[in-house]
Structure 1
Amino acid sequence: MTSPGRTERLVLPGVLTAEQAAHTVAAIAAEQRPDGAIPWFRGHHLDPWDHVEAAMALDAAGEHTRAEAAYRWLAAHQNSDGSWYAAYADGAADEPTDRGRETNFVAYAAVGVWHHYLATGDDAFLDRMWPTVYAAVEFVLQLQQPGGQIGWKREDPEDGGIDRTEALLTGCSSIHQALRCALAIAEHREEPQPDWELAVGLLGHAIRSHPERFADKSRYSMDWYYPVLGGAVTGAAAKERIEERWDDFVVPGLGVRCVLPNPWVTGGESCELALALWVMGESDRAVEILQWIQHLRAENGLYWTGYVFEDRAVWPEELTTWTAGSLLLAAAALGGDEATTAVFGGERLPVGLEPDCCTQP
């Protein structure tokens, strides 16, 4: 088990003791395969976004060797076009169970790679992963539309590889963060990427100013807070956005709804909202959210995905590495972990360039 001494920075009153944090880290590590893959749980599938989220949590806890193994798995399974499939079976063959290639899943590798570098200072790792990040970003930007928004996914190549140009606000907000991390990697390597700078500028402008360019998923809490979490909406606009729908999604004492009108709070959404609140400078409310969801903590240190409060029932009955990972990352940000605060706080991440059409009144 991870030593409690390595998880002191994850301690939050009413959320995690050092021993509890160590227990949670060990539980994620127990689900990681010897080849580095981190499925939702053993026997279930792996998706690239949640795999990276869990790897970032391992880095936040000081488990850098395990995190690096997760990125080696990612590099080894990248498709020739720079993408990854949306889901892989948990098995020796890693057979895809969903052959769609979702842009936000592909882009998120850049967040994890930059986070690992900031946590370790390992330039050799960054050198090895740069081709992986570069190819992933180039794939994603193939689906960017003239308005800045980025299409959801490219379908199975066996079905013609058709692009789904419908843009999702949550996914694009996550991509916004990922492109800024990719630019940070490029700047560190002194390999300027002006096309990426324009792409992130256009995307940020679309998220802030053109909601009509995205599919209407306003029933989902992620569409509410992700523009803040992904760094596109900041300052007074971020506070206004969060306050506007707080009562719609937040269930005091229990957590954050996933989707309206369902009486279902979920650990992942709750932890991500806590991260967004921290980004806004509202640490007290962030800690309170994390305290509420401790009813989802299981004896093995992982967390149930969600809870249907009208039925007083855990649902689905699954303990996921990514739910635990999101909690550890929120705790790490609140505890001042440098790598985690850098990738989510964003003060030192490149902001991109908005074209003249977006900056003029």
Structure 2
Amino acid sequence: MISREQVARTAESIAAIQQEDGGVPWPEGHVDAWNHVECLMAMSVAGLREPVRRGYAWLARHQRDDGSWPMKLIDGAPAERGGETNHAAYVAAGIWHHHLVTGDQRFTEESWPMVKAALDFVVDMQTERGEIVWERDAEGTPATYALLTGCSSIHQGLRCGVRLADHLGDPQPHWELAADRLAHVLNDHPEAFADKSRFSMDWYYPVLGGAVRGRRAAELLEREWDTFVVPGLGIRCVSDQPWVTGAETCELVLALDAVGDRERALALFADMQHLRHEDGSYWTGWQFVNRRHFPHERSGYTAAAVVLAADALFGYSPGSGLFRDVDGACVSDPDVCGCAAGTGGRLPPNAADEIL
């Protein structure tokens, strides 16, 4: 396992790659809203307030009139102009997480218009059946299909948005209805989604995003365990390649923790530590037949997933229960899981002093 100090160092490795304008890029150099928000969440856990503030200012600056963000930005300019629904929805998860971690009411209130516009963009893309299509292209035309991983993440974003709305006294019942309809489709209508089943994310994301819980979650995770999990190394990114990736492994850790499977969560978290670099950053993946890092890069989003998994497992911040409390009600006994939701959404005393 890694220590609290090592987790802080990993968060600092994310701050080290943040661009001057506040964006947190992929190794290739572009920024997208989803991975950017995940990195801000990780830095929030470590108490890196100034980089986090600059990151959320970047989001506000680049949000478009319809509530979306360009798929990719390079040096602050759109490189791909379509808008992804899961990118927009994750902003709500980020702002709710920031509120849980810091208790900064003023920042939450200032960020609310950005969240409202983003989630209204998302629910406008919901079909009659309930799935949410993955993008609106540069000409404003919605896609013709939905993605299971993306919709699972959107489910979490909508639930976090509902929590924000209720906290701020500005209820948005259409978001809650959209989340309920989306959860139904994620549970009962697999035909609603494009087939991306070779990707491990399509396996565990319905649990990670909170749409699938209880017995169904346990059955879902068992179904493909042997397909994707490589003992001692982590989990495959895709089923047909000898390649384990750190971000996907840590997201499965979060999913396992969310349903109370702590033993396997801890084991997988330990397994993926072979990807840790001496400076606290993480290699994206490991090709275990060729025995080399692939791609040959260390990514901010992998480091962010490690920090969020460590927080969920060891409770470093008041936001550690974010993935356990996706639907607004603890799935565990609050006295056992210790998440912020166990206080009815109120932060524990001196919460801001308890971050790393």
- Is the 2:67–2:121 Cα contact (8 Å) retained in structure 1? yes
Superimposed CA distance per residue, residues 236-294 of structure 1 (whole angstroms, 9 cap, x where no aligned partner): 11011101110000000111001121111111100000100100111121111111111
Per-residue deviation, 1:98 = 1.6
Matches of 2:4 and 2:175, distance apart in 1: 40
Identical aligned pairs, as a percentage?
50
Separation (CA, whole Å) in 2 of partners of 1:228 and 1:296: 25
1:179 and 1:350, CA in 2 relative to 1: closer, same or farther beyond 3 A?
A: farther
TM-score (norm 1): 0.88
User: Which moved further from structure 2: 168-177 or 192-201?
Assistant: 192-201
- Residues of 1 paired with 2:7 and 2:79: CA distance? 32
Work out which of the residue numbers 36, 39, 64 in structure 2 matches 1:51. 36
What SS is found at the alignment partner of 1:344? Answer: coil
1:99 aligns with 2:84: no
Q: What is residue 288 of structure 1 aligned with on the other side?
A: 267
Distance 1:340 1:118, change over 3 A: closer
> How far is the alpha carbon of 1:65 from its aligned partner?
2.8
Read off the aligned partner of 2:68 and give its amino acid letter.
S
Kindly report structure 1 stretches of 4+ aligned residues shifted beyond 4 Å.
Answer: none
CA distance in 2, matches of 1:77, 1:20: 32
1:62 to 47, 52, 59: 47
Q: Which of 323-332 and 287-296 deviates more?
A: 287-296
Identify the residue that residue 230 of structure 1 maps to in structure 2: 209
Shift of 1:118: 0.9
Give the direction of change, closer, same or farther, for the CA distance of 1:137–1:303 in structure 2 (3 Å limit).
same
Task: Output aligned runs, 1:203-352, within 5 Å.
Answer: 203-346=182-325, 349=328
Q: Secondary structure at the match of 1:165?
A: coil
Aligned-partner residue type, residue 327 of structure 1 = V
Question: Aligned partners of 2:316, 2:260: CA distance in 1, in Å?
Answer: 15
Mapped pair 1:24 → 2:10: yes
Contact 1:40 1:320 in 2 (8 A): yes
CA–CA distance in 1 between the matches of 2:99 and 2:144?
33
> Is 1:173 equivalent to 2:152 in the alignment?
yes
CA distance in 1, matches of 2:157, 2:251: 16
Distance 1:347 1:152 in 2: 21
- Normalized against structure 2, the TM-score is what? 0.90
C-alpha distance in structure 1 between counterparts of 2:258 and 2:178, whole Å: 23
Kindly indicate whether the alpha-carbon contact (under 8 Å) linking 2:156 and 2:327 is maintained by their aligned counterparts in 1: no
Counterpart contact for 1:150–1:165, Cα < 8 Å:
no
Q: Which amino acid is 1:102 matched to? A: E
How many residue pairs end up in the alignment? 330
Correspondent of 1:130 among 109, 112, 118: 112
Checking the alignment, whether the CA contact within 8 Å between 2:159 and 2:326 is kept in structure 1 is no
Q: CA RMSD in A?
A: 1.5
Give the distance between the partners of 1:301 and 1:338, measured in 2 at CA. Answer: 19
Quote the Cα distance in structure 2 between the aligned partners of 1:130 and 1:19: 33
| 1:88 pairs with 2:73 | yes
Q: Residue 162 of structure 1 aligns with which residue? A: 141
- CA contact under 8 A between 1:54 and 1:322: conserved in structure 2? yes
Equivalent residue letter for 2:166: E
**Distance in 1 separating the partners of 2:324 and 2:37:** 18
Distance 1:172 1:25 in 2: 27
Residue 118 of structure 1 aligns with which residue?
A: 100
Q: Which consecutive residues of structure 1, in runs of 5 or more, have no partner in the other structure?
A: 1-13, 352-361
Deviates more, 1:75-84 or 1:291-300: 291-300
Does 2:13 match 1:34?
A: no
Contact 2:84 2:136 in 1 (8 A): yes
Cα separation, 2, equivalents of 1:347 and 1:224: 18
